[in-house]
Amino acid sequence: MKRSFTSDGMKRWGLLAAMILFMPLTAKAQVPWTILREDFEKLELGSNVDEPEIGEEVWTASPPDDWTIDNSGLPAGGITEWRGWSFANKEWWTAAAGDQDRSQFVNASGTVMIADPDEWDDTANEGGVNGDWYDTFITTHTIEMSIVEPETAVLRFDSSWRDEFDSSYQQSGNITVSYDGGEPIEILRWLSDPDSPDFKDDAQNETIEIPLNNPEGAQTMEITWGMFDAGNDWWWAIDNIAVDADVTGLGDFNSDGVVDSVDFETLRSNFRQGRVSYSDGDINFDRFIDLNDFAAFIGFFNAEQGGAAAAVPEPGSMLLMGLGVTCLFWLQRRQRRS
């Protein structure tokens, strides 16, 4: 159903904007929030290279902005598409590998993050020479934690793991987390050795949740997934990564204890900027400031005021249009006066 933007709606959003500009709000509420969400759908995929399965937009070795891949422990050679953590269309990956249960990863869709030493080993490589293994690690961008309550952050992702263990290779995986640039802390270890207490049997489709035990005072966090000690084994594929936590002071971008016009100005001045952090106004933690951030900011402010601007419409076309008109009107007024 289409909604028209009425003068009444304009007045409501104008009231909200005025409240933020002239009625500072003490930043005290604790609310559940998502501080990382990544499904890899914004990555630009290219054509196949070594895999015989033809495709034009099916694969890339380039991670999301400011994520890093460490392939320094990877032996030379092997199939290009699977040299360490890569990103591929799930259906193409499944077809290129002849399935072998990869299609069971039904929680995933579109682009998926994959470490596949089985496919990598399908052409000449130096795996096993001088004890070299297939070792690859991928680390997220630095996640701001300044407003996150201690011991509340939880990592969640969809996973497809198929293991193999023999005298030559012993596929292993782990996840570590580092706070404020400190030493990595291992929060998950999966081994393919059935005699190990960390043995992880085949699980081609499951959702994993892990408490991150974030310490009090932590300001930043980075998470790393590793596949190591592998060779002609199987795979680990991942999709729909999220970190949820309780946060306090949402919208107080300069951490002065109040949500006010200064914070609104931070948000406005960084409008349409990418590769940003929470302190830049990225209230929804998606690293891009757009009208969704304005919606979240004003919606949170209104909720904290106890619904003082009652009957404001739910986020949607009317909300976004109202926010856009209100914010642009305010911006134009400021520019004319400067």
Same domain, 62 and 45: yes
Per-residue pLDDT of 299-322, as tens digits, reads 776 666 554 433 333 344 344 445
Would you say residue 44 lies in a domain? yes
Residue 20 has pLDDT above 70, yes or no: no
Q: What does the block give as tokens for 45?
A: 């995929």
Q: How far apart are CA 5 and CA 301, in angstroms?
A: 21
Share the mean pLDDT of the chain. Answer: 85
Q: How far apart are CA 110 and CA 242, in angstroms?
A: 17
Per-residue pLDDT of 213-233, as tens digits, reads 999 999 999 999 999 999 989
Residue 3 has pLDDT above 80, yes or no: no
Which one is predicted more confidently, 132 or 9? Answer: 132
Same domain, 139 and 273: no
Last residue of a domain, one of 211, 246, 281: 246
Would you say residue 146 lies in a domain? yes
Same domain, 156 and 238: yes
Q: How far apart are CA 212 and CA 177, in angstroms?
A: 8
Q: What does the block give as tokens for 286?
A: 């998606």
Same domain, 189 and 159: yes
Q: How far apart are CA 293 and CA 282, in angstroms?
A: 6
Instruction: Show the beta-strand stretches assigned E in the chain.
Output: 25-26, 30-38, 59-60, 68-70, 86-89, 111-115, 134-139, 143-144, 154-162, 172-179, 185-191, 203-211, 220-230, 235-248, 258-259
Same domain, 306 and 196: no
Place of tokens 């198929």: 162
Q: Assign 11 a pLDDT band (cuts: 50, 70, 90).
A: very low
Last residue of a domain, one of 218, 246, 274: 246
Q: What is the CATH number of the domain that holds 234?
A: 2.60.120.260
pTM, full prediction: 0.85
- Range of the structural domain that residue 167 is part of: 35-246
Last residue of a domain, one of 219, 246, 273: 246
Per-residue pLDDT of 35-48, as tens digits, reads 999 999 999 999 99
